[in-house]
Amino acid sequence: MELFLRLIVIAVKAIALIVGPLLDRFWYPPKPRKTLLPPIRNRLLTLSVQELRKRLRTRQLTSVELVKAYIERIEAVNPHLNALVESRFPEALQEAASADDLIARSNDPSGGVVSVGGHFPNSIAEDFEQYLVEGPISRFAVDLPDLLEVMAGSEKAATLRLREPFQLSQLKIHYAMGFEGINGWMHQSVEGEIQNAIRKAVVHLKALGLDVQRAKLPNLGNSMEMALAGIAGMHQMDYLLEAEPTEGSGKVRETLGELFRSIRGQSSYTTNALIFELMRRCQAFVGRPQMEQYHAESRALIGEFSTFLGENGVLLFPTMSSPAARHKWIVLPLWGIDYTLIFNVLGLPVTHVPVGVNKQGLPIGFSVIAAPHQDRLCLHLAVELERAFGGWQPPTPHEFDD
């Protein structure tokens, strides 16, 4: 355990305990009855990929019609969300037309491999793929296997056995409410609504007759050190402020200056990206000998989790300590990043499952984690939890044109 790093975490937790209630009362008002997002008016946008694929195959729908519907929706909501990096609308329509030609000449459209080009962070290191893994985001859990298969490509998807029959009754469920012991005390506490979401899932799964047990987790006492050491040790990743770390303390000072400008809203970089950059330039405040120690602990932990979860076990675990970061206050919850990052560093498959909203209208959920290459277990359970708790909810009620 790194004393200086943990002192930072304790200080952040103390600030959060003081500032959090004030923000809840004065800065973070309850969700208004109406949002600024326009309602969905096209029924195509409410259908799952399964249903859309059926309509495409039976010629009830064309790819061009579908892509146009999504383009219209993106253009309607993006001014409010600012989530679009590159539109590619003309290219998407051309690809849709090609897909329609393929459908007309064949009984079955094949998937390709999704490129991670243009993403940050990136690296030429051989083991970087386990840290930056592109996965599907879907409103409907039933679509996740199909989307993952397309993104992975048929050859890689075969190793995940996504099409292999699996009965929910075969699952063994483990659950935990967060980190335990001193490690848990040093982290910001997991909000009660997230813990209650896990409890509701546990009650439901027990009612189905599944084997559900409170987890006795492998040793995660150094979870933060292992997570940050895994990232800080990747020296072949690009830096935001372009320069090699060999330039010394000058780049650390420059990063700190840019970080303070970001907090004031005067930087072109996000605060969390700059904190990530600072961690890397400072080697996460971990010395080289300790860095190697945490790498060794991580390698051992992969084996422990593989044995613990096996081929039919999953772990329910908080994705973060809170549903979403308050605007401009990402620096506080960011110090709980190892709730998620530790499982990335270990290379374990994780599916985040939404199970409702909190009093502010923010989505609440938790992670379903499995052993390496057991992604299908997470996806099967996500489908059941969506069926039980409703899954994705539209932020604005639909208003169909017809």
Q: pLDDT digit string (tens) for 185-194?
A: 888 889 899 9
Nearest to 102 by CA among 56, 149, 153: 56
Query: pLDDT at position 108, please?
Result: 36
List pLDDT tens digits, range 12-63: 888 878 877 777 776 666 655 666 788 999 999 999 888 888 788 767 788 9
Would you give the distance in Å from CA 50 to the centre of its chain? 23
Of 212 and 248, the one with more pLDDT = 212
62-76 burial, b at 16+ Cβ within 10 Å, e below that, comes to bbbebbbbebebeee
DSSP one-letter code for 183: H
The residues, any chain, with a CB within 8 Å of residue 303's CB and separated by 6 or more, are none
Bridge partners, 123 (sequence order): 237
| Contact yes or no for 320/336 (Cβ under 8 A) | yes
φ/ψ (deg, to 5) at 325: -75, 140
Show the tokens assigned to 53: 């694929």
Q: What is the pLDDT of residues 165-177, one digit of tens each?
A: 888 998 999 999 9
pLDDT tens-digit readout, 273-306:
888 888 888 877 888 888 888 888 888 888 888 8
- Model-level pTM? 0.75
Contact 340, 350 (CB under 8 A): yes
pLDDT score of 121 more than 70:
no
Domain boundaries, given as residue ranges, for the chain: 3-30+125-389
Neighbouring CB atoms inside 10 A of 212's CB total 19
Please say whether the beta carbons of 210 and 171 come within 8 A: yes
Which H or E run includes 339? helix 338-345
What's the pLDDT at 330?
A: 64
Q: By the 8 A CB rule, do 242 and 121 touch?
A: no
Whether 114 shows a pLDDT value over 60: the answer reads no
